[in-house]
């Protein structure tokens, strides 16, 4: 039974909406880029680096994630990283991918904003040309930095406005509530960007509420802590607010102890618009289909749940309505076959 469901889940058409492109940097590529750029890493080998991927919480991961990203210097580095992810995504039947990127991690090291955006965007353009894959870039502000720094980053992004579809908020959640970024998000809204924010991953449900009411986001990234506030859960269901849930990430960062304890099926059955995503696949043990395999093995998912998750991924995506309808038909045709 599981084997049949896994076969369906891995082959079904799907979108990925929550992937930090710097989190797709595999240890092998980190070492290759370090060598290409003449950098020495703090880890003696690929195995030693991989062995350090034992996280206790979000911050313990972020410390290693920012260290890994420090090998990215040139436009070609950002292209190679993105292309490696897109090839994996294509193999997983991902037809549409929205990629988070963290420019402040790079500009703080003296890397030009253009290198970051141009490299990632060029890979997406090539994926569109080669496979018809669609997608976009979502620029994230690091919430452990100030709102003033976010405003400065937004200024740097404006010449690249056409290459960026949305704005997000990531990094250390606790102690950095959404309201810290209310003014810069209001400005991004005026500029016509789509808006999303990480909320309720480690932080309290109140952060989900303020992301909705003060940042006016269109999706919540993670959001699983909504389970602690039944009224908020009802609201999320009523408003069809998408939650981009990342199952393997939640286990690696100890948000849930075991996959069998993950609440995504409870949320899905309560009518919330749940989507499945990989977050930082190189660090958390797998890409999008690996996440589907893990949840099918641990939770009593049915075939109709998979169809709902595939439909939700396109319903929650930032794309033209015509393209959305085409993808939704593709999902329904796949499940009718
Ligand atoms: N949470 C917050 N910030 C992040 C994450 C995450 O899971 N991944 C990369 N930056
Ligand atoms: Zn994330």
pLDDT at 329: 98
Q: From the CB of 202, is ligand 1 less than 6 Å away? A: no
Q: From the CB of 198, is ligand 1 less than 6 Å away? A: yes
CB 25 within 8 A of CB 34: no
How far is Cα 111 from Cα 70, in angstroms, rounded to an integer?
10
For 83, 87, 101, 321, 323, the CA distances from 132, given in Å and listed in that order, are 14, 13, 22, 17, 12
Q: Which two structure tokens, joined as six digits, stand for 264?
A: 């995504």
pLDDT confidence of 1, banded at 50, 70, 90? low
Q: How many domains does the chain have?
A: 1
Atom of ligand 1 nearest to the CA of 22: 9
- Nearest residue (by CA) to ligand 1, atom 10, is 171
Q: From the CB of 75, is ligand 1 less than 6 Å away? A: no
- Nearest residue (by CA) to ligand 1, atom 3, is 171
User: Minimal CA–CA distance to 20: which of 61, 48, 54?
Assistant: 61
Atom of ligand 1 nearest to the CA of 170: 3
Q: Which ligand is nearest to the CA of 144?
A: 1
The secondary structure of 62-96 as a DSSP string is HHHHHHHHTT--SHHHHHHHHHHHHHHHHHTTEEE
Q: Which ligand is nearest to the CA of 101?
A: 1
- Nearest residue (by CA) to ligand 1, atom 2, is 171
- Mean pLDDT to the nearest integer, 76-101: 98
How far is Cα 36 from Cα 106, in angstroms, rounded to an integer?
17
DSSP state of 178: G
Question: Which residues face 20 on adjacent strands?
Answer: 100
pLDDT confidence of 265, banded at 50, 70, 90? very high
Domain range for 118 is 3-336
CATH of the domain at 311: 3.20.20.140
pLDDT at 120: 98
Atom of ligand 1 nearest to the CA of 173: 2
Atom of ligand 1 nearest to the CA of 280: 8
Q: From the CB of 201, is ligand 1 less than 6 Å away? A: yes
Q: From the CB of 20, is ligand 1 less than 6 Å away? A: yes
Selected catalytic residue, list 28, 201, 239, 297: 201
208 CA → ligand 2 middle, Å: 14
pLDDT confidence of 331, banded at 50, 70, 90? very high
Q: Percent of the chain at pLDDT above 90?
A: 99
- pTM higher than the cut 0.95: yes
254 CA → ligand 1 middle, Å: 13
Is 218 marked active-site? no
Residue 11 pLDDT exceeds 80: yes
């Amino acid at each position: 039974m599981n084997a049949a469901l896994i076969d369906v889940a891995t082959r079904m058409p799907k979108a990925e909406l929550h992937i930090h492109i710097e989190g797709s940097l595999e240890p092998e590529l980190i070492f290759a880029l370090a060598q290409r750029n003449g950098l020495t890493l703090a880890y003696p080998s690929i195995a030693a680096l991989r062995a350090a991927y034992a996280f206790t919480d979000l911050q313990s991961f972020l410390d290693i994630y920012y260290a890994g990203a420090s090998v990215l210097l040139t436009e070609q580095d950002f292209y190679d990283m993105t292309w490696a992810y897109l090839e994996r995504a294509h193999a997983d039947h991902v037809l549409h991918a929205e990629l988070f990127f963290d420019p402040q991690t790079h500009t703080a090291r003296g890397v030009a904003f253009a290198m970051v955006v141009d490299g990632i965007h060029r890979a997406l353009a090539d994926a569109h040309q080669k496979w018809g894959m669609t997608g976009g870039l979502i620029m994230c502000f690091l919430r452990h930095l100030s709102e003033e720094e976010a405003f400065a980053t937004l200024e740097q992004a404006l010449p690249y406005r056409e290459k960026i579809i949305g704005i997000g908020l990531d990094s250390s959640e606790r102690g950095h509530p959404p309201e810290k970024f209310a003014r810069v998000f209001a400005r991004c809204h005026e500029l016509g960007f789509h808006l999303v924010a990480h909320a309720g991953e480690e932080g309290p449900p109140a952060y989900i509420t303020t992301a909705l009411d003060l940042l006016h986001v269109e999706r919540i990234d993670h959001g699983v802590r909504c389970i602690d506030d039944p009224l908020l859960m009802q609201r999320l269901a009523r408003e069809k607010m998408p939650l981009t849930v990342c199952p393997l990430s939640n286990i690696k960062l100890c948000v849930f102890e075991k996959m069998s304890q993950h609440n995504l099926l409870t949320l899905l059955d309560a009518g919330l618009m749940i989507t499945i995503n990989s977050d930082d696949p190189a660090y958390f043990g797998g890409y999008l289909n690996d996440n589907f395999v893990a949840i099918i093995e641990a939770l009593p998912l049915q075939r109709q749940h998979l169809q709902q998750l595939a439909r939700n991924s396109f319903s929650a995506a930032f794309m033209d309505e015509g393209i959305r309808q085409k993808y939704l038909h593709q999902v329904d045709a796949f499940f009718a076959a």
